[in-house]
């Protein structure tokens, strides 16, 4: 079972926030068979993305690790089985049994059914929904004491547009323009579209399955609010970043609704 916290605290709000890579929990059987350390797992997960999602009253926050099932992959690729599936990491000590593999794939389908149910429930009150697919990414791949990766390919916030209809690119550009240059604790945010990450399976699936009813941008936050090697969080910086992001989304929400009604 993929543990997920689902909260619909204001169904009149046309936003659903998703943090599908937030989780760290693994079933004991998978944990025993995991070929990488807990620290390495945490570094490749998206810890604290739940904080971004919690700024919106309607949210689904996954507590299970992507190393159990990756909900941003296609059904065939959702369960990592070999190093080539996950950045060369020796994800399993031994091959998964067919029984366990089938069980995990069934859990994946159950989760997507729950997502569809949640969206359809909200769509009973809204013609259109904004679904925020929230993620984070590393930028100190060379080690905790090494220089960060070049800013040119690692902006602070990336808005992935490539899975959404082209007509809505201007909406994503508007969100980018509001966030870009915002100062947080003396740091000037660099926000761009379609650099490095352009959107994965989940956003593509929603745009196909709920065509004309859902807009799902993939949002990637660089881990400038935490130490990606130790997992230590800078609570003050992240709180400020979360606030600026949620305010920007609210600012362009009316523009989003107008575009869908056009």
| Fold (topology level) of 4-261 | Aminopeptidase (3.40.630)
Q: Looking up tokens 């997507």, which residue turns up?
A: 112
How high is the pLDDT of residue 249?
A: 97
Sign of CA dihedral 114, 120, 125, 131: positive
pLDDT in tens, the chain (262 residues): 899 999 999 999 999 999 999 999 998 889 999 999 999 999 999 999 999 999 999 999 999 999 999 999 999 999 999 999 999 999 999 999 999 999 999 999 999 999 999 999 999 999 999 999 999 999 999 999 889 999 999 999 999 999 999 989 999 999 999 999 999 999 999 999 999 888 899 999 999 999 999 999 999 999 999 999 999 999 999 999 999 999 999 999 887 777 766 5
**Burial of 34 per CB tally in 10 Å (0-12, 13-18, 19+):** buried
Residue 164 contacts by C-beta under 8 Å, 6 or more apart in sequence?
A: 172, 199, 203, 207, 215, 216, 217
Q: How would you write 16-49 as a 3-class SS string?
A: EEEECCCECECCHHHHHCECCCHHHHHHHCCCCH
- Tell me how crowded residue 86 is: count the other CB atoms within 10 A of its CB: 18
- Show me where the domains of the chain are located: 4-261
């Amino acid at each position: 079972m993929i543990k997920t916290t689902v909260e619909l605290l204001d169904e009149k709000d046309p936003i659903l926030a998703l943090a599908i890579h937030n989780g760290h929990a693994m079933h004991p059987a998978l944990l025993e068979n995991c070929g990488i350390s807990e620290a390495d797992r945490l570094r490749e997960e998206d810890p604290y993305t739940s904080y971004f999602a919690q700024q919106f009253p309607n949210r689904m926050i996954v507590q299970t690790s992507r190393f159990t099932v990756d909900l941003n992959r296609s059904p065939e690729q959702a369960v990592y089985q070999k190093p080539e599936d996950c950045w060369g990491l020796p994800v399993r000590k031994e091959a998964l049994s067919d029984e366990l593999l089938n069980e995990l794939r069934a859990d994946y389908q159950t989760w997507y059914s729950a997502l569809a149910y949640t969206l359809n429930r909200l769509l009973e009150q809204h013609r259109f929904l904004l679904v925020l697919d929230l993620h984070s990414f590393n930028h100190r791949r060379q080690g905790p004491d090494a220089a960060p990766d070049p800013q040119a390919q690692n902006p602070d916030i990336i808005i992935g547009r490539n899975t959404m209809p082209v007509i809505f690119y201007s909406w994503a550009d508007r969100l980018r323009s509001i966030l870009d240059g915002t100062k947080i604790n003396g740091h000037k945010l660099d926000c761009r579209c379609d650099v490095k990450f352009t959107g994965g399976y989940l956003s593509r699936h929603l745009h196909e399955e709920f065509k004309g009813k859902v807009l799902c941008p993939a949002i990637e936050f660089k881990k400038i609010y935490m130490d990606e090697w130790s997992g230590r969080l800078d609570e003050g910086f992240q709180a400020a970043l979360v606030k600026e992001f949620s305010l920007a989304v609210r600012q362009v929400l009316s523009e989003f609704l107008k575009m869908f009604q056009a």
